[in-house]
Amino acid sequence: MATVLSVSGSPSATSRTARLLRHLDADLTAQGHDVIPLDVRTLPAEALLGADFAHPEIVRATELFARADGIVIGTP
C-alpha cells in the first residue's frame, strides 16, 4: 500500500489537531498503509527560522516528504 506522511503543525503534543491526526493515522494503518508521523514542533526552531536546509533534521524531514505517496497535514 501507500506510504503516508502525517504532519502535525500544532505546537502542543496534546492538541486536538494532534489527536485527530493520530486517530487518522490508526485508521490508515488499519487499511494497510505505512504511516509516518511528523510533528513540526520537534524540528529545530533555529534551523526553520534561519532556513538552514542543510541541517540534518531539515534534510530528514525533506526526505520524508519526497518519499511519501500521500501527505496529510493538520494545523490548528
Give backbone dihedrals phi and psi of 54, rounded to 5 degrees, phi first.
-95, -10
Give backbone dihedrals phi and psi of 10, rounded to 5 degrees, phi first.
-75, 140
pTM over 0.85: yes
Spans of the chain, pLDDT less than 50? none
Q: What is the pLDDT of residues 11-22, one digit of tens each?
A: 987 889 999 999
Task: Report all structural domains of the chain as residue ranges with CATH numbers, in order of start.
Answer: 3-74 (3.40.50.360)
Report the 10 Å Cβ neighbour count for 35.
Answer: 22
- Write down the pLDDT at residue 14: 85
- Write down the pLDDT at residue 50: 96
